[in-house]
Structure 1
Amino acid sequence: MSTLQRFVLMWFVSTVRALQTTQAPPLVLGDQIIKSVAAPMVAASDYAFRCLCRQYGVDLTYTQMLHAKNIVRDPIFVRNHLDFYECGIVEQKLVASQQLILKDTTVRPPLPSVTATKGPLIVQLAGNDPTLVAQAAQKVFNLHPQIAGFDLNCGCPQAIARKGNYGSFLMEHDNGKTVCDIVRSLRQAVPVPISVKHRLATDPSQNISRWRALQEAGVCFITVHGRTLYENKTAVGPCHVEWSQKAVETLSIPVVANGGVERFQDVEQLLQNTGASAVMSSEGLLETPYLFRDDPVNVKDAQFQVTRDYLAWCIHFPPLPGVLGPRGSMTVVKGHVFKFLHRYWSQHEDLRDRLTDPSVDTLGQLEGVVDELWARVSEQDDCESVSWYRRHRKQRTKVEQVPVVLSADERKAQIRERIDQMRKDQKNVLRLSA
């Protein structure tokens, strides 16, 4: 078979597959068709990072997960988290924790793109009480009526979510009944779209019934993360994209596919294979914010450029401290810079240690560390190193086991058992030495 014949055959097969794939309705917010989405990420979805993502082609951004009860009951929480500058004028008065990271900063460069400061923003809420979640949404909407919508977190797989009965555990708790009750409360409370981001059911036979119940409850669109709550960190595994396709075939509302997106070609393939309305990325964007644009010719140049662009946004719009305490603003910035340049910090541990040193507490100092790293690696060929996105995959063994998710009390009990065993071992050593 000639090269031309092979090309024609591949084109024919791909065309047939595309025609066979059911297409979800387009996701439209306001007057904008959404194809690329930045996921909600705790201590990472700050306004500066959202601007960076829009600069590199993201259509829709989310806030980090916000606990409904904290929004309703804690004004300090609201002040430290609600950086919804897309929905109004950017505040000129910054809180003290933000002002601290501006000292000793180099001359402010021009913004990478003024238009990137605006764009649709969805607020993600966490909670298990329909009334409380609705109250939180009303409070946020009254403060920022231009937000594009609210999303309910049904995807968090962490043990703390199990303890609080939210995230993935809320959906598993009663097979989505409470989630549907919350959706109905939100629909009555606020006049904007409601969505749910969720993981696959641990019992796959429950997926379709959950989707249909959510659609009947009134969600405007859903985001399907193609993994269960047990498939995370070192057990992350491949994404089950076939379930996103099944959601498209089952529902009459837009579907956003999430999971396994590392490069631009993954975005295109996920859209083609699932027929989804849009693609959402989380950890992939944290390392490569340009992944919705195209794969770069020079990865090293691209990674340092996004780092400099992000720092430029931070100089103008320092992140709020969030849940990270008095040094939270700088911790957020350092976290992003660490992920952007992960493969290079690992080659220069002394600079990595300087990055994490608390004495580096201004953007100017941080820029200096980044510049020194660039001076070291700019003339070197890229050597083999693990990207931040694949940091867990290198630790996986051939025999994979589903991890047991423990509650806080269960983890404390395990720690007490280990301490008791250590004490017994110590007594045995002393007895033998005597």
Structure 2
Amino acid sequence: MDALTLPDAPWRHWPGLDRLTGALGAGNARVVGGAVRDTLLDIAVSDLDIATPLDPQEVMRRLEGAGIKVIPTGLAHGTITAVSSGTVVEVTTLRRDLTTDGRRATVAFTDDWKEDAARRDFTINALYADPDTGEIFDYFGGRADLAARHVRFIGDPLRRIAEDHLRILRFFRFLARFGDSPDAESLDACTARANDLMALSRERIADELLKLVVAKDAVRVIALMLERGIFRPVLPEIVSVERFARVMELEAEAGLALDPIRRLAALLPADAAIAEAVGARLKLSNVQRKRLVCATEADLLGSPRSAAYRLGREEAIDRLFLFDAPGAVDAARDLTSWDIPRLPLSGGALIQRGLTKGPDVARALRAVESQWIEEGFPDAARLGEIADAVADQALRSSSSE
């Protein structure tokens, strides 16, 4: 294998990293996976994973001996978290699979780097690099695939999928992030085994799906997934990508951050029952589920600002984009910079105007708020006039009863 040196990158100079690798010893630490891949693509790296042939107990002994904090986060699977001068790194002993059932694996430790690489999913994720010298170790052609933007399973795709069914969704997510065209054998394997997704926890499916929808090339890849029937076993409600594509265009034009829940909503029909069912099936948080349901309505409650005040900023933008409202981009830009006010009036102010504590004050306060919203959130002077008028009307009504 020819030697290739990793380009310099900020993570290679993170404080404490050299102390950590020095404690493990020469040749016993290689950065693996995403950090190597992303450095080759000139993408910023935020997380480091280090592989080592040392067994976990020896890793802990050496690191603690060097004064490095050690947290046994996944000891049974050979993983510990090390904190060195504030730099957090996961260190995992080289592994090989003993048994797999599509959801989890029983592993044994090994000192064979290639054996460890062989159990990983895609060639572009099985790249290793010496953190000190930058030398790259590539056992399955990952560099060439990365250069060709080719996402390909290591070895037999059907075997890789049998080991972990989630790799079907990961294949499409990585294709949307890094791939120009899918590997035909890998794509056919994902298509053939799509029903395997039914065996996965819905939380794992949701995690992958929410990452997929914000990927750079999500429209093309989701269209491919629909063509191949990938969603049908677990999310048959997703049948079209057109509205999703339009929402992506609007987000880009408005300069907004990519929003996974908005994009998920764009893949679903505008039906509250379906949104609630999908949110529950994927075990999304209560806040996320409520937002999915809210996004099935087009009503802006009078204006975009009114919707933002009553529903929330993101919920208002959801409705603007999902229903392609006139002036949606300008309205969304306005909402992102608008400091949503709070009604600067309390029930006490209405009591001072002569109303009696109780339901009358609550009703009057709602009436004041509604008028204030309808008029576009005017200043305190105008709010006072609204409160005077509402209080006078309430007093006249009560005196005539």
Q: Which has the larger radius of gyration?
A: 2
Q: Answer whether TM exceeds 0.5 for this pair.
A: no
TM-score by length of 2: 0.26
* Higher RCO (CA < 8 A, seq sep 6+): 1
